[in-house]
Amino acid sequence: MADRPRHTLGTRLWHWVNAVALFILFFSGLNISNAHPQLYWGEWGFDPATAWLGLPQFPGWMTIPGYYSLAEARLWHFLAAWPFALGLLVYFVALLFTRHARDFRLRRRELKWSAIREDLAHHRKLEFAPPPGNAFNLLQKYLYIAVLFVALPLMILTGLTLSPAMNTAFPWLLDMFGGRQSARSIHFVVAFGLFGFFVLHIMAVLLSGPVGQMRDMITGGRGEGAES
């Protein structure tokens, strides 16, 4: 029996490609937001007085590119969207043929509030190690399920809904989200939710040994007891 990598090459590649793509998508999205920083529900929205939420104007140092350009921001957004979407599709297909899908299975006990409360208590003590035989602790499992199987697909589907060309090819997308402006609102809300998840993820890494975590995600690290 030999040690196996904690993170396979495929997992590491997907992680870093996804990280770069999401970085470009989020900060180019802030540039796009500056063109009309109001959110609406329904099919139409152009009058700020009818917006349900007004977003701030984001400074150039927070956007891609570093100055206001709707055309260039859309190019950056489109450039990063394809590896992001294709990478997620490959990841889902890989789940069908690997044991990694078991890592996300929620057992009956893990659905109870007592288990969630216990895991939160461990996090307050900065104890992030998963239980024996598990890849993730319970809070990680809930967050990863929400991000991978809800938030990221929503980002892709609402992004497609915002494209007039996709509306022609898949008109049911507009009906699914109740109109282009509703899809835009969901797209922005989920994007900021993902940014919050990214901040939590970085904080957890910093609190649980950043050097080792980064090394393992680059080199793979070594795990216990499986054949290589």
What domains can be seen in the chain, in order of their start residue? 9-219 (1.20.950.20)
Mean pLDDT (the chain, rounded): 87
What percent of the chain has a predicted confidence (pLDDT) above 90?
54
Q: Residues 8, 217: contact at Cβ < 8 Å? A: no
pLDDT category of residue 123 using cuts at 50, 70 and 90? confident
Q: What is the pLDDT of residues 7-54, one digit of tens each?
A: 677 677 878 888 899 999 999 999 999 999 999 999 988 899 999 999
The model's pTM is 0.85
Question: What number is the average pLDDT over the span 148-156?
Answer: 95
- The H or E element containing residue 181 is helix 180-207
Question: What number is the average pLDDT over the span 176-181?
Answer: 94
Between CA 179 and CA 52 the distance in angstroms is 15
Does the pLDDT value for residue 214 go beyond 50? Answer: yes
- Of 14, 22, 16, 15, the residue nearest 64 (C-alpha): 22
Q: What is the pLDDT of residues 55-67, one digit of tens each?
A: 999 999 999 999 9
What is the gyration radius of the CA atoms in the chain, in angstroms?
A: 20
Question: In the chain, what is the greatest distance between 2 CA atoms, to the nearest angstrom?
Answer: 66
**Residue 196 token pair:** 């919050």
Does the pLDDT value for residue 157 go beyond 60? Answer: yes
Instruction: Tell me the residue length of the chain.
Output: 228
Q: Could you tell me the sign of the dihedral formed by the alpha carbons of 46, 49, 54, 59, in that order?
A: positive
Confidence (pLDDT) at 228 = 29
Does the pLDDT value for residue 137 go beyond 60? Answer: yes
